[in-house]
Amino acid sequence: MEMQGSRHLAVSQQQAWEALNDPQVLKACIPGCDKVEPTADNQYAIAMAVKVGPVAARFAGKITLLDVLPPNSYTLAFEGQGGAAGFGKGSAKVSLAPPVEGAGCELNYTANAQVGGKIAQVGQRLVDGVARSMAEEFFRRFDEEMQRRYPDAYAAQAALPPDAPAPAAPARGIPMWAWIAFGAGILLALFVLMR
């Protein structure tokens, strides 16, 4: 399974980077997540509940950040086990960049994952639909958290004149994971979903 997408954020690139590397932000934004804990430099333990069709399970796994280039990009390598429900493993490349026009930043991700066990048996279309739903929920929660932390950035974006170029809308492509996806989370959401 491969997924990709992008999202315009009203916050600065540095603010987005810090949030995508904050275990508490990720835990709050990833649907079903109840644990994101650092275990070593650039390594995290994660636990969450996932339901795909008739298969519901608790997953436990780890995420390792590779090729870290603050505040621009990193690669998330993930693997997790859900007992009889199955397993997931893969990677997600996440990058942040200044927007072409205006304020804020652009978040882009490309992820690939493999799932096995009962989750893989419910069908690719169902897994993709749940992944898409989790990605949208992650972005909604992440946007709400950024608005709570940085209300001035969102107020400035809302105050743009009507003829100003609008920020890019989120790309609707292949679903993201399981930061997991993103990340962050986004990335971690992509990770969890793919498990």
For residue range 149-164, list pLDDT tens digits in order. 999 988 887 776 555 5
C-alpha distance from residue 35 to each of 61, 79, 120, 143, 175 (Å): 10, 15, 24, 20, 23
Domain that holds residue 25: 2-194
The predicted structure's pLDDT at residue 67: 95
Q: Is the pLDDT at 37 greater than 60, yes or no?
A: yes
Alpha carbon dihedral 52, 55, 59, 63, in 10-degree steps, equals: -30
Q: Is the pLDDT at 22 greater than 80, yes or no?
A: yes
122 by Cβ neighbours in 10 Å (0-12 / 13-18 / 19+) ranks as: middle
Q: What is the pTM of this model?
A: 0.75
Structural domain count of the chain: 1
CA atoms within 13 A on the CB side of 142: 35
Given a contact cutoff of 8 angstroms between Cβ atoms, the answer to whether 154 and 147 are in contact is yes
DSSP 168: P
CATH number of the domain that 134 lies in? Answer: 3.30.530.20
C-alpha distance from residue 12 to each of 9, 72, 93, 97, 150 (Å): 8, 12, 19, 9, 10
Sign of the C-alpha dihedral computed for residues 140, 45, 127 and 51 taken in this order: negative
> Confidence class of residue 74 from pLDDT cuts 50, 70 and 90?
very high
Q: Is the pLDDT at 38 greater than 90, yes or no?
A: yes
> Confidence class of residue 85 from pLDDT cuts 50, 70 and 90?
confident
For residue range 130-185, list pLDDT tens digits in order. 777 777 788 789 889 999 999 998 888 777 655 554 444 333 332 233 333 333 33
